[in-house]
Amino acid sequence: MEYRNVGKWGLKISEFSLGSWLTFGSELDISEARKCMKAAYDSGINFFDNAEAYAAGLSESIMGMILKEFKRESIVVSTKIFWGGNGPNDIGLSRKHLFEGAWNSLKRLQLDYVDLIYCHRPDPNTPLEETAMAMNDIVRSGMALYWGTSEWNAESLEKTFNICSEYRLVPPVVEQPQYSLLFRERVEREYVPIIDRYGIGLTTWSPLASGVLTGKYNEGIPDGSRLARHTGLKKHLEESGLISESNISRVKKLQKIAKDLGTTSATLSLAWCLKNDSVSSVILGVSSVEQLTENLKALNLKERITDDVFDAINRIFPL
């Protein structure tokens, strides 16, 4: 396991990390979640990602009970604030919700601080100045060591860095975007000037495009699969065009390359993500220890992705 700096900053996190979206509290109870977290830690993973919105807070509560079994200094824990409830001040990035969301997350996680706290989405109803000032104060108060954003566009990030410079605020150090062979544009084009100018890191999510890159949806949606269990996710993928004849055709071509390498399209897709030096960590979402073990095979595969293999993959999934 390689440990990468979060951008230009000193914090080091494992190149693979374990996230809890769609799993902790929905698919995994505390017993199964503990098995996955311990297996992840034993494999070298030191970064665990969560959010106040995951399973309406239950995901954080489950993770919090398990985190007590780890030495705090040996792990990096993150959470994200935006969707905290149904009240008028329970959603968004106002100073009120950011502070109350952070306090509630820390209670559920049973921690004095998180290492990283993200603004889970941009909030058009709150001035960037208010959000940046609140995040600065959260970091300076000790509730979090660093702050970042998730799925913000480059224009908003540029404005945020300018605000932080003008008001002498702690700047964001990390962005958490979706990134996979089917989602390349934002990371590989839009963010490049921001990464170069400000040295932010990237902790990327959905590296398998919600399972599409595994090939398991090539012939439809199998009973018992994640898409079959999560109708909202299925609707999102269908509306976004991820499950399309064109993409399925590309996945089948990827499977041929993977077969020649003696691996699977899933493992190859994960290894491809790791090849991007701008990525600090690729967040895995697993439903079992067996699935985690399978995903971690990408660690050994990444060195076998030669320039020729890399170019062949990129011809199938052009930017």
Catalytic amino acids? Answer: 54
Beta bridge partners of 281: 203
Alpha-carbon distance of 316 to 251, in angstroms, equals 9
CA angle 312, 191, 187 (to 5 degrees): 35
What is the 8-class DSSP label of residue 16? E
CA distances from 122 to 116, 191, 217 (A): 17, 15, 31
Alpha carbon 8 to its chain's center: 19
Alpha-carbon distance of 222 to 235, in angstroms, equals 15
The tokens describing 22, both together, are 């769609």
Alpha carbons within 13 angstroms on the beta-carbon side of residue 148 total 28
> By three-state DSSP, how is residue 163 classified?
helix
The tokens describing 89, both together, are 């001040």
The tokens describing 259, both together, are 């077969």
Question: How is the chain split among helix, strand and coil, in percent rounded to 5?
Answer: 50, 15, 35
> By three-state DSSP, how is residue 227 classified?
helix
Specify the residue for token string 């300076």. Answer: 140
